[in-house]
């Protein structure tokens, strides 16, 4: 089956170099309207895109995280999970009960799922209107800097970055795990099918990485990323709790 939506989905690639060409507010409105249209938890709409237009701030984030496609993007957004909007119009008594209820983990999970859907909608909409996009969790690593700069209230926490612009590269589509076994299982979790899918994918990714001068497969790449002691996870977890999320 082929249509324009499937073509956009199958050809999506992360764009990390952008032309020095402005992106209009009209296009941004189109992209973010699509992002807002997705399903979300209980229609709480617990997602907010905060655009950073100050080049000095974008430069500072780039300096801290080493991602040049933040400073070089015509439009850059910090995506936050946001329950603060629910407190508008609440009495002090209602707000106190809400803060207790929003601290349960399932509320954090719902906000994160809602954010993921909104982010994907934004990326696909951007591609549909000729823009390139790249999402990045690392953009929110300088949490204290973003907290102070963006003046974030409680129950608002940055979770991803999004850069938009006209593409100035063609990176190609990165191969993904086989759907059968890697994404689709039947009736139960099938470890054997997963291991077969990973073995097949490792061969694919070794060839893919070789074209980029990297001598490793997917599993080896993952071990470098995950099987080492993380330096800042505890700080990120503490920040999550400080903002009122997932404390119970």
Sheet containing 75-82: which strands, arranged edge to edge?
Answer: 47-52, 75-82, 156-165, 132-136
CB-neighbour burial class of residue 3 (10 A; exposed 0-12, middle 13-18, buried 19+):
exposed
Structure tokens at 31: 């992209």
CA 111 and chain centroid, separation: 13
State pLDDT tens for residues 13-34.
Answer: 999 999 999 999 999 999 999 9
Q: What is the pLDDT of residue 230?
A: 66
Q: Residues with Cβ < 8 Å from 227, sequence gap 6 or more?
A: none
Strands 132-136 and 156-165: antiparallel
Q: pLDDT (tens digit, 9 = 90+) per residue, 107-126?
A: 999 999 999 999 999 999 99
Q: Are strands 75-82 and 47-52 parallel, antiparallel or unpaired?
A: antiparallel
What percent of the chain is predicted at pLDDT more than 70? 98
Torsion of CA 180, 8, 206, 230, to 10 degrees: -90
Q: Quick check: 153 and 72 in contact, CB under 8 A?
A: no
pLDDT digits (tens, 9 = 90+) for 76-119: 999 999 999 999 999 999 999 999 999 999 999 999 999 999 99
Query: Rounded to whole angstroms, how far apart are CA atoms 209 and 214?
Result: 5
Q: How far is Cα 50 from Cα 48, in angstroms, rounded to an integer? A: 6
Tell me the pLDDT tens digit for each residue of 178-225: 999 999 999 999 999 999 999 999 999 999 999 999 999 999 999 998
Q: Which domains does the chain have, with CATH numbers?
A: 4-171+232-242 (3.40.109.10), 174-216 (no CATH)
Model pLDDT, residue 55: 98
Q: The pTM is what?
A: 0.93
pLDDT the model gives residue 1:
64
Who wins on pLDDT, 197 or 230?
Answer: 197
- C-alpha 70/C-alpha 15 separation (Å) is 11
* % of the chain beyond a pLDDT of 90: 89
Point out the least confidently predicted range of 1-10, 44-53, 129-138, 173-182: 1-10
> Do 152 and 158 touch, CB atoms closer than 8 A?
yes
């Amino acid at each position: 089956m082929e249509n324009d939506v499937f073509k956009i989905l199958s050809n999506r690639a992360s764009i990390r170099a952008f032309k020095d060409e402005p992106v209009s507010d009209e296009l941004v409105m189109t992209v973010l309207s699509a992002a807002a249209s997705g399903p979300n938890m209980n229609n709480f709409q617990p997602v907010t895109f905060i655009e950073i237009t100050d080049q000095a701030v974008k430069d500072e984030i780039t300096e801290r995280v080493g991602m040049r496609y933040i400073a070089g993007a015509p439009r850059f957004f910090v995506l936050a999970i946001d329950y603060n909007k629910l407190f508008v119009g609440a009495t002090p008594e209602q707000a106190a009960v809400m803060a207790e209820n929003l601290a349960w983990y399932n509320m954090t999970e719902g906000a994160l799922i809602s954010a993921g859907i909104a982010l994907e909608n934004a990326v696909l909409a951007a591609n549909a209107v000729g823009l390139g996009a790249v999402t990045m969790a690392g953009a929110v690593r300088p949490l204290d800097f973003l907290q102070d700069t963006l003046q974030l209230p409680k129950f608002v926490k940055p979770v991803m970055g999004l850069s938009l612009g006209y593409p100035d590269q063609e990176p190609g589509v990165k191969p993904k795990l086989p759907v059968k076994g890697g994404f689709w299982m039947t009736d139960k979790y099938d470890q054997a099918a997963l291991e077969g899918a990973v073995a097949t994918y490792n061969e694919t990714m070794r060839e893919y990485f070789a074209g980029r001068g990297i001598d490793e497969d997917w599993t080896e790449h993952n071990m470098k990323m995950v099987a080492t002691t993380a330096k800042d996870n505890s700080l990120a977890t503490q920040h999550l709790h400080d903002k009122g999320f997932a404390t119970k």
